[in-house]
Chain A
Amino acid sequence: MTENSDVVPAGTETLDVLSSGQGAFGVDGTPDVSGYGGLVRTTHAAPAATRPYGGWYDDAVDTLAQALGDNFGPAVSKVVIAADQLTLEIEREHLLEVMAHLRDHPALRFEMCMGANGVHWPEDTGRELHVHYPMLSMTHNRRLSVEVTCPDDDPHIPSVVGIYPGNDWHERETFDFFGVIFDGHPGLTRIEMPDDWVGHPQRKDYPLGGIPVEYKGATIPPPDDRREYK
């Protein structure tokens, strides 16, 4: 279960803060005249799921634990079940080992990895960049997700292209947009942006861009510069 940011259930104080914001209206750095200027909104990371997970989730996690042996503890940092979906948070050092088991173990058989999508959480200190791998097992008709994080100042994650060749372009895209360097990728180049582009556009510290538009005397600022609800 993931908590709503408005309501913080008991016990979540220990959870990592993913992001926070202040005020209810206006542009960052300008006075908030809505009367809610002191409002603080915090987003916490999803809490670890507790047993029993339900359905086939227990079996799958047990199978993985058995396959990994002593490495299960260091490899799987958290098991999350949110919106009925199972997500395994994996330490990057063990990603390839986990992926190999997920693909090859007869009781797991996640034949396909449907991509690698980045999410940038600038306030999640030490784990700013998250990469999310949706996995599909056609044999068992199941899905789960694998999530790996890396710090902004050491944005390296091992490439899974050796295990899932179809992730080639997906990793290039995540490199292009977030600057995550997938070690061992056969040709990690930009894919959507021009080769000589500077910066990684999907990061939260990269501005949307845009120019003010004037219409009949009124000027409308670009979307990331407007006074709007937060």
Chain B
Amino acid sequence: MSDDVIYETADEAGSYDTTEGKVFTVSGGDWDQVSGDEGIEQRVVVNMGPQHPSTHGVLRLILELDGETVTQARSGIGYLHTGIEKNMEFRTWTQGVTYVTRMDYLSPIFNETAYCLGVEKLLGITEQIPDRASVIRVMLMELNRIASHLVFLATGGMELGALTAMTFGFREREPVLDVLEAITGLRMNHAYIRPGGLAQDLPDGAEQMVADLLKLLRKRLPDTANLLVGNSIWMSRTEGVGYLDLTGCIALGMTGPVLRSTGYPWDLRKMQPYCGYEDYEFEVATQTTCDAYGRFLIRLEEMQQSMNIVEQCLDKLRPGPVMVEDKKIAWPAQLAIGSDGMGNSLEHIRHIMGQSMEALIHHFKLVTEGFRVPAGQAYVSIEAPRGELGVHVVSDGGTRPYRVHFRDPSFNNLQAVPAMSEGGQVADVVAAVASIDPVMGGVDR
């Protein structure tokens, strides 16, 4: 290709004058030929994303560069906004679970639990949730935390060029999702936690599956640790990178592993327990390095702690109901696997169709109309894999949420990208963003 052709291509991309000087929009080519030899002062702004393999989904980073050094960084979001919160206002409280589970799609169980805790708070039934339901919620949340942290390892490793970490991470996550599928019916978007309890009890053999999974994970998880902990390439990519100290974290409202990497053991499971977390023994993982490497170590340790919690859940599981007794709230059906998949159990169908007109009416009313939640508002928060997941639930006394807002940790934490990456190199931006572990589904909702 001759020089002329390149010049033409670059010229087609266009240039225009602004109050701050001439702006060139280029997507390739040789800079000298694009700008001509006017000797103008250069200010290079690079648009990274929203479609870029190292920006964790559809995050857009706008970087101002001086050579390889990032002088200014901004993040642009909104590419995955789907109006989930608005949609929920047109569905019943129970149906809302199906929406919230799709927000942060790597930690669906946390979204469901946070939402249900909020609804239960408004209903005033927090104390009536059966123990078994709470234990199963904790067990699934911790399994979900492991799966989520494994995706952090996988995608974070891949973005920094450690492709084996990716294959390891996704390999380990698969059996976790298999167990979640066996229990809830789906790998993701479970809609398993419901206001008042759970959609259904554990299926036969689930406890054994979880026990086997723990055995497998205990054997396999050290693989990733052995691969990366102390690895000189990994350390030079992550040590001292994405630095944010305690002052910065508090100012920016950072929570989760980023806050704990400053040495502050703030974990809502310990500080403001919910779902009976006060009854479990576990350590809060912290590091004092304030950097991406510290956050990586924290997540490795949290997976170990999560396995300990799941083990304790298995010990705590006692037979019992998984839904509140109040028949005005408890979903009437008992689900079962039939020849055509999951559905209402034949026994329940027989009861409402053949034996009790009242049961049929009750079932119909609760499923089509839903239950009413007393007017008021509540803010509840739980420790999600990425930090504080807060839910602000507002009811006007009707059968549908008046307003539900998720304070997603990824949304808040992404604000730290400029603080973490300005002054570093372009490659360090990738490490810094990976250490925040944002999930755009949760950011944009």
What chain A residues lie within 8 Å of B58 (beta carbons)?
none
B414's closest neighbor in chain A, by CB? A169
Does A141 sit within 8 A of B, measured CB to CB? Answer: yes
Output the nearest chain A residue to B373 by Cβ-Cβ distance. Answer: A4
Note all chain A residues with C-beta closer than 8 A to B444: 192
Asked if B271 and A2 sit within 8 Å, CB to CB, the answer is: no
**Cβ distance A78 to chain B, nearest Cβ, rounded Å:** 14
Assess the A117–B87 pair: CB atoms within 8 A. no
A residues 28-47 in Cβ contact with B at 8 Å: 41, 43-44, 46
Q: Mark A167-200, 1 if CB is under 8 A from B, else 0.
A: 1111001000000000000000011111000000
B377 at the interface (CB under 8 A from A): yes
Residues of A within 8 A of B253 (CB): 112-115, 164, 166-167
- One digit per residue, 1 when the CB lies within 8 angstroms of any chain B CB and 0 when it does not, for chain A 1-38 equals 01111100000000000110100000000000000000
Task: Decide if B396 is an interface residue (CB 8 Å cutoff).
Answer: yes
When each residue 357-380 of chain B gets 1 if its CB lies under 8 Å from chain A and 0 otherwise, what string results? 000000000001110101111110
Known: A169-B415, A193-B78, A223-B90. A117 touches B392 (CB 8 A): yes
Quick check: B375 and A112 within 8 Å, CB to CB? no
Of residues A87, A118, A170, A192, which shows the largest number of chain B Cβ atoms within 10 Å of its Cβ? A192
Contact with B along A208-227 (1 / 0, CB 8 A): 10000000000000011000
Cβ of B121 under 8 Å from chain A: yes
Q: Given known contacts A4-B375, A229-B370, is B394 in contact with A119 (CB within 8 Å)?
A: yes
Q: Chain B: which residue is nearest A113 at the CB level?
A: B253
Report the separation of the CA atoms of residues A202 and B403 in the bound assembly, to the nearest whole angstrom.
Answer: 9
Residues on the A chain within 8 Å of B121, using CB:
83-84
Most buried by B among A82, A83, A202, A229: A83
Contact stretch, chosen from B29-37, B186-194, B405-413: B405-413
B residues contacting the other copy or chain, number (CB 8 A): 50
Nearest chain-A residue to B444 (Cβ)?
A192
- Interface residue ranges of B128-166 to A (CB < 8 Å): none
Number of chain A residues close to chain B: CB under 8 A: 53
Contacts of A168 in B (CB 8 A): 415
A105 CB within 8 Å of chain B: no
Q: Is the CB of A4 within 8 A of B415?
A: no
Nearest B residue to A115 via CB reads B407
Q: How many angstroms from the CA of A18 to the CA of B83 in the assembled complex?
A: 24
Q: A173–B85 Cα gap in the complex (Å)?
A: 13
- How distant is B395 from chain A, measured CB to nearest CB, in Å? 9
Q: Which residues of A contact B87 (CB under 8 A)?
A: 208, 223
Check: B334 CB closer than 8 A to any chain A CB: no
A44-B375, A119-B403 known; A208+B86 contact, CB < 8 A: yes
- Report chain B residues within 8 Å CB of A229: 368-370, 399
Establish whether residues B397 and A6, one from each chain, have CB atoms under 8 Å apart when the complex forms: yes
| B122: interface (CB < 8 Å) | yes
Bitwise interface map of A from 83 to 125 toward B, beta carbon under 8 Å scored 1, else 0: 1110100000000000000000000000111110111100000
A2, B370: Cβ atoms under 8 Å? no
Q: Report A84 CB to chain B, min CB distance, Å.
A: 8
Find out whether the CB atom of B252 lies under 8 angstroms from the CB atom of A43. Answer: no
Listed by A's residue number, 22 A-B pairs whose Cβ atoms lie within 8 Å are A3-B375, A41-B398, A82-B376, A83-B121, A83-B122, A84-B121, A113-B253, A114-B253, A114-B388, A114-B390, A115-B405, A115-B407, A117-B403, A118-B405, A120-B403, A145-B379, A166-B412, A192-B77, A192-B78, A193-B78, A193-B81, A223-B91
8 A-B pairs with least C-beta separation: A166-B253, A5-B397, A2-B376, A229-B369, A117-B405, A192-B81, A43-B396, A192-B78
